[in-house]
A and B are shown apart, each in its own frame.
Chain A
Amino acid sequence: MLRNLAIVLVSTFTIAANGTLFAGKVIDEAESGSLNLKSINVISFAPEGVLLIGDGRGGQIVAVETGDIKPSEGKFTTLANVDHELAARVGAPPKGIEIIDMAVNPASGVAYIATRKQDDKSSIVFTVAPSGKIGLLDLDKARYVRIKLATDKGSVSLITDVAWAGTQIVAAARSNETFSSKIFSIPAPLSKQTAGQVFSAETYHVSHGRWETKAPMSALIPIKENDVTYIVGAFSCTPVVKYRIDSIKPGATVKGSSMIELGSGNRPLDMFSYEKDGKPFVLANTFRFHHARKPFGPSPYWTVKFQQSLLAGSDAVNDKAVRRLKAAYQPATDKIEMVEAYHGVMQMDRLGSTHTLAVRDTGKGLELVALPLP
């Protein structure tokens, strides 16, 4: 029986930034060997240097103990033509690899860049240290836990995001054929027995208070309000929706409330929360597929910063959700702003408490660059 779960939002509370709120033991019991990945769709980090890999073709999340837990020396300097540099390290021409995703290990400050080698479709994860040294994560000899994402209907073929949320890993996934998106909850710490406790819920979106459709989630992050953990998910075109994490139960139908509308014609890619001058914000980069006809800037990749307080409250939701733009594409509020210094950012992750590390398209090529948090 499907259960509709309403999101109850308390009007007075404190919001804290993501930073240190989600400590916890990640892996209880790892095995050793080859990861046997069929693909890499997304990567992110949990504590203790554990890399989370979303492998859609394999229908699995793989948590890898990288052992990379010592803070690195040095600071990132811009690495121009990063795709050329990485490709050359595996003997490929620049177009011979495609950068899929990037994550920064908060334990060490090292960047992990997931790529696909185009001719034989090998999954390759490069490491780039702040010193600029490029290495490889050995996917054939690793310590890991593999979690298969089984569903009673259809199969998982693409994982759109994966995040650590303190006591569990949360992942958004979709199938190839059906227009549905499931959000998976994987309890931690992980071990071989974890697979049996994974469950999923279908995510929906309501527009104009009337039309309800299934909605695939592109990016997600956990946040905390008054000791309650929520999952904030961004959808195409581009409502930002919030769900209580405890609403993800077997067979549930999870219907979130839209808190923010970032504007149509965009697909969110990466998202993270941070603190600046004592205030919590969320940074999200998106791809604008309307760019050729209705550009927001010089690149189809653009980034928005919004105050995390916009995710609170129960009044300004759905049709009353705060909009970034009003008529004629003019800003509707100063609480949501486009970050011009981040134009062209294709992948990004938080780098410490003051910077973002980004793969940015400059128009002349891709660079790996550290940008101050806006």
Chain B
Amino acid sequence: MPYLWITLGLLINPVDGHISIGAAGSPARIRVTASIPADLLARIPEGPVGADLSEKVLRLQLLRPDGTLGAPVFSTYQRKKNKLILVPRFDLAAGESYVITLLHRNRPVSQRTHRVPFSYQGPPPVVKGVFPTSDKLPTNHLKFYLHFSRPMREGRDIFNYIRLRDANGKEVADPWRRQELWNADATRLTLWIHPGRVKKGVNLRETEGAVLLPGHQYSLELSGKLKGADGQPLVAYRKVFSTVGEDHSRPLPANWKLSTVTSSSRDVLRISFGETLDAELALQCLRVRDVQGRPVQGARSLEDHESVWCFRPAKAWSNRRYRLLVGDELEDLGGNTPVRLFDTDLKASQLDPAVLELSFQPTAGR
């Protein structure tokens, strides 16, 4: 227990020394100032000082639960007159204690402890929503988008805390592709059912079977062991859904229904797909252009379990034709796109080309 010995050492050999700790905005960001023993001043240059020399004089260390100290925390050091200033390179951790030691000839002469209190950044994280929102999914459904109210803690263990159970409560074994796909601020996780158990003719599906069976009910469960980035447990969540048959047809824009909009208005354009499509791709892949090909700005949203795409233009519709461009990476829930089936059968005849552009003209206003 080195920390105990250091404290006893100070009692036996007290030497003048002084450490002060300043917090720069939070207890996790500290600035330590220590008085350098007079006989060391000549050895420590003014200005920035390298860690190899500085750590022999002043060090900040994590205090472990067993009483031992971690190696010196990476810090920048600077000498100003007779003071040595230590600033940790990274924010210290909430809930942890640290020991700051001033040494002289390898013996501790002064010591302070510093504790960073737990500080959660707000209420516990919750699941804001799971897409698809429908409770009827195709048996070859591929992925869920899990939206969280706060940035979440990432890590390879997260899949241990996301479970799929059947109607009897029995856990479906190994359903997920264990690859973390977070958005930029870790508030959305794309959770893939393992495609190897969805794809036809692939070993994994042949040996393990499909994850979802037709005509069954399942619950997707997120445990409180998932944590926000600040360490707070997630409020547990459950989504219940049932399965219908597999979807092996392409989403074809030629079959969509467009609502009418009136010129000189900002009517919402609604496009009914006739089926639920992938929420994120539906928002990304449909673009409105004016007759000159210029992008039309507006707000996009989805309705009716992501089967209807809505667009309210930023400015009133003109009386001229508009184009709706559809990206060929748009997917339905089975991973089929307008140009390609998820499982392409090389022995089947080629698919008819898909129409990827629709046009519409606002009706005359009153």
Contact = CB atoms under 8 A, between A and B. Distances in A.
Contacts of B89: 90, 136
A34 interface: no
Given A119-B94, A207-B202, A293-B173, A98 B156 contact: yes
Given A38-B184, A178-B329, A178-B331, A213 B74 contact: no
A235 B230 CA distance: 34
B302 interface: no
A289 B342 contact: no
Interface stretch (B105-113, B192-200, B212-220, B305-313): B192-200
Contacts of B72: 89
Contact of B90 (A122, A154, A212): A122
A176 interface: yes
Contacts of B71: 85, 88-89, 134
A212 B96 contact: no
B203 A264 contact: yes
B184 A57 contact: yes
B345 A211 contact: yes
A210 B345 CA distance: 6
Contacts of A92: 62, 90, 93, 96
Nearest to A117: B90
A90 B93 CA distance: 9
A211 B201 contact: yes
Nearest to B72: A89
A180 interface: yes
Contacts of A176: 181-183, 190, 280
Given A88-B73, A93-B96, A210-B347, A116 B61 contact: no
Given A177-B278, A180-B329, A209-B346, A91 B93 contact: yes
Given A158-B179, A179-B335, A210-B346, A121 B174 contact: no
A203 interface: no
Contacts of B347: 210
Interface in A152-172: 153-154, 157-158
Contacts of A209: 346
Contacts of A178: 281, 329, 331
Interface residues on A, range: 35 or more
B186 interface: yes
B331 to A, nearest CB: 7
Contacts of A136: 74, 89
Interface residues of B, number: 67
A293 B93 contact: no
A138 to B, nearest CB: 9
A291 B196 CA distance: 16
Contacts, number: 161
Given A177-B281, A237-B202, A264-B196, A293 B174 contact: yes
A118 B96 contact: no
Contacts of B18: none
Contacts of B91: 91, 119-120
Given A210-B346, A211-B346, A237-B203, A89 B70 contact: yes
A119 B329 contact: no
B236 to A, nearest CB: 21
Interface in B228-280: 229-231, 278, 280
Nearest to B62: A88
B229 A119 contact: yes
A236 interface: yes
A89 B74 contact: yes
Given A154-B329, A211-B202, A206 B184 contact: no
A267 interface: yes
A374 interface: no
Contacts of A118: 153-155, 229
Nearest to B88: A91
By Cβ-Cβ distance, the 5 closest A-B pairs, closest first, are: A88-B70, A264-B203, A264-B204, A211-B201, A207-B201
Given A98-B154, A178-B281, A293-B174, 12 more contacts: A91-B70, A96-B93, A119-B93, A153-B327, A154-B284, A157-B183, A207-B202, A211-B343, A211-B344, A237-B203, A264-B207, A292-B174
